[in-house]
């Protein structure tokens, strides 16, 4: 039975991934800066073999180390990481305080480094049965976007981690990124993005926001037998926002 860690599990893509793996009968550890109790209850109802709900600040090394110790005590290792924890910030460069830049980089890039280091260190995959590390990046990592420079930089950095780790740990751990386009989550809400930018997000060929469940379906695919020949990739379920 797969042992899966999902970060950012309280909402959005993270919550959808938690439920998707629960429906596969996985043992799931759910982590978020606030204890993801609601998602844990839903995962249990969805059929998870075991559910552990944990609090973690992914930008804090001590908090991530404590998360690792909890996983050791409960699961004794990991087979799959789905790292969804992240934040977004919109502001013109000349109006962006260094503290806001540090916060976005701290959660999105430092957090990916810390979580990846912790999780991959607990994976015991082999060439015949590789473990999987899946990180959430963004389509913006490819095309950039004005007034989102800290976010774009952080997600571009995530792709760098993925490509480096894919080479370092092949063939026993397969490391990939999911690079979503505009997804219907709180991150696209008025608290994070202006109405103008929301409208621009819809100016893509499919002319709609993606759903978190569509991202979760890809994560399940990458973690399964169908994903055995993928590593070092940034895969874009994006409605046509970018066509690399």
Give me the active site residues, please.
151
> Nearest CA to 170 among 228, 85, 96, 112?
228
C-alpha span between 47 and 29 (Å, rounded): 14
What kind and span of H or E run contains 19? helix 12-23
The torsion of the CA quartet 152, 154, 157, 161, rounded to 10 degrees, works out to: -140
Angle at the Cα of 117 from the Cα atoms of 152 and 235, rounded to 5 degrees: 45
What is the 8-class DSSP label of residue 183?
A: B
C-alpha span between 160 and 69 (Å, rounded): 27
């Amino acid at each position: 039975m797969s042992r899966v860690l999902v970060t950012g599990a309280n909402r959005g893509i993270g919550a959808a991934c938690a439920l998707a793996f629960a429906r596969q009968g996985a043992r799931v550890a759910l982590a978020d800066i606030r204890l993801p109790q609601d998602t844990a209850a839903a995962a249990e109802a969805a059929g998870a073999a075991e559910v552990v709900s944990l609090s973690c600040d992914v930008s804090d090394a001590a908090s991530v180390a404590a998360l690792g110790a909890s996983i050791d005590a409960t699961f004794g290792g990991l087979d799959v990481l789905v790292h969804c924890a992240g934040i977004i910030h919109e502001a013109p460069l000349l109006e962006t305080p260094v503290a806001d830049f540090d916060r976005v980089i701290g959660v999105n890039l430092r957090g990916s480094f810390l979580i990846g280091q912790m999780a991959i260190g607990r994976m015991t995959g082999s060439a015949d049965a590789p473990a999987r590390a899946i990180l959430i990046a963004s389509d913006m990592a490819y095309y950039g976007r004005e007034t989102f420079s800290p976010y774009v930089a952080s997600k571009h950095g995530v792709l760098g981690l993925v490509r480096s780790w894919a080479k370092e740990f092949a063939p026993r751990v397969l490391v990939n990124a999911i690079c979503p386009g505009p997804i219907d989550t709180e991150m696209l809400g008025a608290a994070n993005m202006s109405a103008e930018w929301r409208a621009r997000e819809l100016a893509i060929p499919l002319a709609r926001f993606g759903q978190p469940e569509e991202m979760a379906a890809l994560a399940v695919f990458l973690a399964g037998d169908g994903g055995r020949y993928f590593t070092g990739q940034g895969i874009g379920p994006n409605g046509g926002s970018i066509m690399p």
